[in-house]
Amino acid sequence: MKNKKLVLFTFPLLFILFSLTPGKTGSDPHPLIDIESLETEEDFHQAYEVLKDKVKELKVAKKEATSKAEKKMIKEDITHVKNEIEAVKAKALSGGIYIGSGALILIIILLILL
């Protein structure tokens, strides 16, 4: 009986606890580069170089940091900048139309039947 009560009270509390924790957002609140304004290949190349230089600067700053808290903050900044680099790369490479495998199979079946 005690185990049943324990389970009945513990699971809802754990559910509430984990549902209230903030999730990791995919976007940086203060991006260095406005990805939406990049249009030409040269723009993408310049943005990539700027972000790469920023990572190098942050790595030097991390080596010069004295406390653990500073190093941790710089490491988080490096992670954000690397995420921006990945976003720039993804935007540069996304130029086509994406067709899912299910949709592709459906299109092929419809073409065969017609």
Segments in the chain below pLDDT 70: 1-2, 6-9, 11-32, 34-37, 93-97
3-state helix, strand, coil in the chain (%, to 5): 75, 0, 25
User: What pLDDT score was predicted for residue 43?
Assistant: 81
User: What pLDDT score was predicted for residue 23?
Assistant: 47
User: What pLDDT score was predicted for residue 12?
Assistant: 67
Full residue range of the structural domain in which residue 88 is found: 2-113
Angle at 60 between CA 48 and CA 79, to 5 degrees: 50
Measured over the CA atoms of residue 8, residue 9, residue 13 and residue 14, the dihedral's sign is negative
User: What pLDDT score was predicted for residue 112?
Assistant: 92
**Token representation of residue 43:** 């723009």
User: What pLDDT score was predicted for residue 102?
Assistant: 87
User: What pLDDT score was predicted for residue 46?
Assistant: 86
State how far the alpha carbon of 28 is from the alpha carbons of 25, 41, 49, 92, in Å.
8, 23, 19, 19
Q: How much is the pTM? A: 0.53
* Residue located via tokens 């900048």: 81
Q: How many domains does the chain have?
A: 1
